[in-house]
């Protein structure tokens, strides 16, 4: 954990934070394509408005993955992945398909295919409607998606269940749900493959350490970034005030009142420069708020 002194408070940066290798690879691959050809991203490459704007400035267009028409002949599958049938539909329609699916998302697809091939009823722990979950479920429509204990009732009563997870789910939630399935269906054979990705686990572990030291946590990332939202929710469960922000201007001065230690973390689709901008903004606010600094000095 990195510590930056910015009186009247200290800024603590999580040990593991920010953009993961899968998203970095997807951005690099997309930029390489854009240097040679115009291209259309099928959805959002990463759930980050800065990334979207940067790629648009380089000529990237966008189209829905679910369609089969794009303004360019080159199309790009995003880091969140897609169903094989979607890739085939675009290829059959005559488009050149570049696949930037994160390698760890591909592992989740492989494990789901494995449980289906072995005769298990497939179950996905994840957020219904999330692009990664739609991709996982796309080739296996009979897969049931659950996120809460009450959702277990929607799983068919069969003899064998095979469970995998959306890669960005908190591992504690996933394990608790698997245990709950086994508790509610003791007569059922349950196999579980841990497909929560290591970057997500690292950021969740680092968040626990951060919350032990900080009073307030900022989780930086796109508003539609599931893993960033999870970081903010987990921080609150751990007893910290926490806010999910996209940019420095989202920070309200009253949030900092009386705070001496501020924790900063970021989702797996958040650029390093976005995190740096928030830290610099917090440092600038500290310098600008002299009355606030004096007040805290007296309190200490």
Write out pLDDT tens, residues 102-142: 999 999 999 999 999 999 999 999 999 999 999 999 989 99
SS3 letters for the chain? CEEEEECCEEEEECCCCCCCHHHHHHHHHHHHHHHHCCCEEECCCCCCHHHHHHHHHCCCEEECCCCCCCCCCEEEECCCCCCHHHHHHHHHCCCEEEECCCHHHHHHHHHHHHHHHCCCEEEEECCCCCHHHHHHHHCCCCCEEECCHHHHHHCCCCCEEEEEECCCCCHHHHHHHHHHHHHHCCCCEEEECCCCCHHHHHHHHHHHHHHHHCCEEEEECCCCCHHHHHHHHHHHHCCCEEEEECCHHHCCHHHHCCCCEEEEEECCCCCHHHHHHHHHHHHHHHHHCHHHHHHHHHHC
User: Using one digit for the tens of pLDDT, what is the confidence trace for 23-34?
Assistant: 999 999 999 999
2-19+198-299: CATH topology is Cobalt-precorrin-4 Transmethylase; domain 1 (3.40.1010)
Domain boundaries, the chain: 2-19+198-299, 21-101, 104-192
Q: What is the second-level CATH architecture of the domain 21-101? A: 3-Layer(aba) Sandwich (3.40)
pLDDT at 75: 98
Q: Which of 31, 118, 128, 132 is catalytic?
A: 132
pTM of the model: 0.87
- The Cα–Cα gap between 180 and 275 comes to 37
pLDDT at 263: 96
User: Using one digit for the tens of pLDDT, what is the confidence trace for 249-288?
Assistant: 999 999 999 999 999 999 999 999 999 999 999 999 988 7
Average the pLDDT over 210-234 and give the result.
93
∠ Cα 177 78 23 (to 5°): 75
| Confidence check: pLDDT of 8 > 90 | no
104-192: CATH topology is Cobalt-precorrin-4 Transmethylase; domain 1 (3.40.1010)
User: Using one digit for the tens of pLDDT, what is the confidence trace for 44-62?
Assistant: 998 888 899 999 999 999 9
pLDDT at 83: 97
| Confidence check: pLDDT of 227 > 90 | no
254 part of the active site: no
pLDDT at 105: 97
| Confidence check: pLDDT of 293 > 80 | no
Fold match flag (2-19+198-299 vs 104-192): yes
| Confidence check: pLDDT of 298 > 80 | no
Q: Name residue, tokens 């309190």.
A: 299
User: Using one digit for the tens of pLDDT, what is the confidence trace for 155-207?
Assistant: 999 999 999 999 999 999 999 999 999 999 999 999 999 999 999 999 999 99
């Amino acid at each position: 954990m990195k510590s930056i002194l910015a009186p009247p408070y200290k800024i603590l940066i999580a040990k593991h934070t920010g953009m993961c290798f899968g998203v970095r690879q997807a951005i690099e691959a997309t930029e390489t394509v854009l240097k040679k050809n115009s291209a259309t991203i099928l959805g959002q490459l990463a759930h980050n408005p800065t990334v979207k704007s940067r790629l648009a400035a380089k000529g990237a267009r966008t189209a829905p993955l679910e369609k089969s028409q794009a303004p360019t002949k080159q199309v790009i599958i995003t880091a969140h992945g897609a169903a094989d049938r979607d890739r085939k539909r675009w290829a059959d329609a005559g488009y050149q398909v570049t696949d930037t699916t994160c390698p760890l998302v591909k592992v989740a697809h492989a494990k789901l295919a494995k449980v289906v091939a072995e005769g298990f009823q497939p179950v996905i722990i994840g957020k219904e409607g999330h692009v990664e979950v739609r991709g996982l479920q796309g080739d296996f429509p009979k897969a049931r998606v659950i996120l809460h204990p009450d959702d277990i009732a929607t799983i068919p009563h069969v003899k064998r269940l095979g469970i995998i997870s959306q890669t960005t789910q908190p591992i504690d939630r996933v394990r608790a749900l698997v245990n709950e399935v086994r508790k509610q269906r003791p007569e059922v054979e349950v196999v579980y493959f841990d497909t929560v990705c290591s970057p997500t686990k690292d950021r969740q572990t680092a968040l626990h350490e951060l919350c032990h030291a900080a009073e307030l946590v900022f989780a930086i990332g796109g508003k539609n970034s599931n893993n960033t939202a999870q970081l903010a929710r987990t921080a609150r469960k751990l007893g910290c005030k926490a806010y999910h922000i996209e940019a420095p201007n989202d920070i309200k001065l009253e949030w900092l009142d009386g705070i001496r230690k501020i924790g900063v973390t970021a989702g797996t689709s958040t650029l390093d420069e976005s995190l740096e901008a928030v830290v610099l903004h917090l440092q600038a606010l500290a310098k600008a708020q002299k009355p606030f600094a004096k007040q805290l000095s007296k309190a200490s």
